[in-house]
Amino acid sequence: MNSVWTFGDSMTAPIGGDGPYTDWLGRRANTHCQFIAEHFGFEPINKGVSGSSPNQIFDDFMLNHKDIKSGDIVTFGWSPIMRYRIASQKPYGIMWQQFWATSFKGGVEKACVDGTYITEEVAQHIILNRYEFKYFYSEEVNRWISFIKEWAKLKGVKVVNWTWCDSNFGGAHSINVDIPIRMRTDMSMETNNVVKDGHYGEVGHKELAKEIIEFLNKLL
């Protein structure tokens, strides 16, 4: 059986089992990975991880690409280019710590400034660098996308690139995606603000899955 592989951040990752949205829905929600897999009769393999930077998303793909078979479908939900990662020492070893250099107004993420990873001054410098040169970082992601597409042709795999973030989230609109960037139904909209959350709920994931399926059908 072929598989649908999805890589991305919290807009791709499985929706948590315990939480207000699950309570409201009455069960654990499905994501676009499941909806696409169900449509094509494939197995869903969701590799999305909340908070992932573009570097982490590409790295997750590299860690799994040997297991992707000819005929599989692979989607990439790219996160904002203002996200980045830094190696950090943990009691159990060195690991990647994900950060989001959002803006100067809101400050930096708390994890940046507790002295464990980097100082606030260094974090502010990274914010300035990524903001001022966001086009350069977008082009880096575009080179990854170009490589992935060439790999997909050789492998016999169908690939779809999309992103949830527009120019308000650090210039990710400069990424060469296959699906137009648009507003989709989030949990707040779906629940009429019973659950205040900007992430996609099941309705939003269905909308995204429909767009991806339509794009894939054009490739057949």
pLDDT digits (tens, 9 = 90+) for 170-204: 555 688 999 999 889 999 999 999 999 999 999 99
Domain assignment present for residue 94? The answer is no
Q: Work out the pLDDT band at 70, boundaries 50, 70, 90.
A: very high
User: What pLDDT does 104 receive?
Assistant: 44
What HEC string does 30-88 produce?
CCHHHHHHHHHCCEEEECCCCCCCHHHHHHHHHHHHHHCCCCCEEEEEECCCCEEEEEE
Domain assignment present for residue 148? The answer is yes
Q: How many domains does the chain have?
A: 1
CATH assignment of the domain containing 39: 3.40.50.1110
Share of the chain above pLDDT 90, in %: 63
Q: Is 0.85 surpassed by the pTM of this model?
A: yes
What H or E segment, with its residue span, contains residue 98? strand 93-100
Single-letter residue type at 134: K
27 is in which domain, residue-wise? 3-82+135-219
Say which residues have a Cβ less than 8 Å from residue 218's Cβ, sequence separation at least 6: none
Alpha-carbon distance 156 to 206, whole Å? 26
Domain assignment present for residue 169? The answer is yes
- What is the distance between the terminal CA atoms of the chain, rounded to a whole angstrom? 18
Domain assignment present for residue 30? The answer is yes
Domain assignment present for residue 115? The answer is no
Residue 6 pairs in a beta bridge with 46, 75
pLDDT at 7 over 70: yes
Domain assignment present for residue 90? The answer is no
Domain assignment present for residue 39? The answer is yes
Q: Residue 97: helix, strand or coil by DSSP?
A: strand
Domain assignment present for residue 151? The answer is yes
Express each pLDDT in 19-52 by its tens digit: 899 999 999 999 999 999 999 999 999 999 998 9
